[in-house]
């Protein structure tokens, strides 16, 4: 008796390959859907990788006053007030998406060199701030910091210099289109958050699925105040082309400064960049010259 397996006929072979292709196609599609679901569910963890209070440190040699704030919904917001003798107004700094405010301690003296005391705050879920991070929560925390400067420290609104880096640029931009201020300074900021996600995850339909938007380019189009934009030419996280698009969208007095060879991390706000910011502020704040009479 012959026990060998039957050889499939020619008509059976294409069916077998079609079944295999269908199986592999469905497996890939299913895996892709699962990956998209995970990215959507974990979006906030990727966007806001902040460090808790246990990862904070107090900077030696820096005069810092702890400030406790509350956002509109009652979320506690932690901030540092860093005075400067002889300063003008105040500088409100919105930091990037990682770490917490204590990791920017080395930057504060450089910001104070712009001639103003500095208020830096943490977003919800960062450092000693309560709650969970979100786009709306970041905006609400910035409002609380701004209100403290204006209402508690009695800083005139037109003397508040808004400065933001990376994600913080989105927070500062949103604040700038809603509140009076001296000028807006953006460093290594993106046009909108889905553009950044699409660059690093080209297979992910970020514009359709992301909840966090930070539409900076759209907001700047309606902003009429002075805007200074700086970006590192070696930034691979957020390419300089993003700031160039923001510069093109800005409707008010503006200036763009390219920091040669600077990447997305430290150092930023170089000496040359700080000089350019000071020069820009002097220029936009200079009294207009009277027109000659005919």
pLDDT tens figures, 19-60? 877 766 676 656 666 666 677 778 899 899 999 888 777 777
Task: Give the whole-angstrom CA distance, residue 76 versus residue 237.
Answer: 31
Per-residue model confidence (pLDDT) at position 36: 62
- What is the rounded average pLDDT for all residues in the chain? 89
More confidently predicted of 128 and 55: 128
pLDDT-based confidence at residue 14 (cuts at 50, 70, 90): low
Q: Which residue has the higher pLDDT, 257 or 61?
A: 257
Given pLDDT bands bounded at 50, 70 and 90, which one contains residue 62? Answer: confident
What average pLDDT does this structure show over 119-138?
Answer: 97
Q: Assess whether pLDDT exceeds 60 at residue 1.
A: no
Q: What is the predicted pLDDT for the residue at 293?
A: 47
Centre a 10 Å sphere on the Cβ of residue 5 and count the other Cβ atoms it contains. 5
pLDDT digit string, tens, across residues 79-108:
999 999 888 899 999 999 999 999 999 999
Torsion over CA: 136, 49, 189, 80 (sign):
positive
List of domains in the chain: 48-285 (3.40.50.1820)
- pLDDT on residue 94: 98
Strand extents, DSSP E, the chain: 65-70, 76-82, 90-94, 118-121, 160-165, 183-187, 227-232, 254-259
Selection from 54, 79, 57, 53 nearest residue 68 by Cα:
79
Confidence of residue 292 (pLDDT cuts 50, 70, 90): very low
Q: Which two tokens stand for residue 261?
A: 């060879």
**For the ranges 68-82, 105-119, 133-147, 195-209, which has the lowest average pLDDT?**
195-209
Q: Which of the pair, 6 or 198, is modelled with greater confidence?
A: 198
Instruction: Give the per-residue pLDDT at 286.
Output: 87
Quick check: pTM over 0.75? yes
Q: What's residue 30's pLDDT?
A: 67
pLDDT of amino acid 8: 57
Q: What is the predicted pLDDT for the residue at 27?
A: 67
In tens, the pLDDT along 225-270 reads 999 999 999 999 999 999 999 999 999 999 999 999 999 876 678 8
Return the structure tokens found at 113.
């060199």
Residue 200 pLDDT greater than 90, yes or no:
no
Nearest to 237 by CA among 187, 200, 191: 200
Which of 54 and 183 is assigned the larger pLDDT?
183
Task: Say what the alpha-carbon torsion angle 108, 144, 222, 191 is, to the nearest 10 degrees.
Answer: 50
Give percent above pLDDT 70 in the chain.
86
């Amino acid at each position: 008796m012959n026990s060998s397996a039957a050889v499939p006929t020619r008509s059976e072979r294409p069916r077998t390959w079609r079944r295999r292709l269908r199986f592999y196609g469905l497996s890939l599609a299913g895996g892709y859907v699962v990956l998209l679901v995970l990215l959507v569910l974990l979006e906030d963890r990727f966007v806001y990788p902040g460090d808790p209070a246990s990862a904070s440190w107090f900077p030696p040699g820096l005069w810092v006053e702890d400030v406790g704030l509350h956002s509109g919904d009652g979320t506690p917001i932690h901030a540092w007030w860093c005075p400067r003798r002889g300063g003008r107004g105040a500088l409100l700094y919105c930091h990037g998406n990682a770490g917490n405010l204590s990791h920017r301690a080395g930057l504060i003296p450089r910001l104070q060199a712009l001639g103003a005391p500095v208020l830096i705050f943490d977003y919800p879920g960062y450092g000693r701030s309560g709650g969970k991070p979100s786009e709306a929560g970041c905006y609400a925390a910035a409002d609380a910091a701004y209100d403290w400067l204006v209402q508690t420290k009695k800083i005139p609104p037109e003397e508040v210099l808004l400065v933001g880096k990376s994600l913080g640029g989105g927070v500062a931009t949103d604040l700038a289109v809603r509140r009076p201020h001296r000028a807006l300074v953006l460093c290594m900021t993106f046009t909108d958050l889905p553009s950044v996600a699409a660059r690093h995850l080209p297979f992910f339909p970020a514009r359709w699925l992301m909840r966090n938007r930070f539409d900076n380019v759209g907001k700047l189009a309606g902003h009429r105040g002075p805007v200074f934009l700086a970006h590192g030419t070696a930034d691979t996280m957020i390419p300089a082309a993003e700031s160039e698009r923001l510069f093109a969208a800005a409707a008010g007095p503006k200036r763009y400064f390219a920091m040669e060879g600077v990447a997305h991390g430290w150092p930023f706000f170089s000496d040359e960049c700080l000089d350019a910011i000071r020069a820009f502020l002097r220029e936009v704040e200079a009294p207009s010259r009277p027109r000659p009479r005919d």
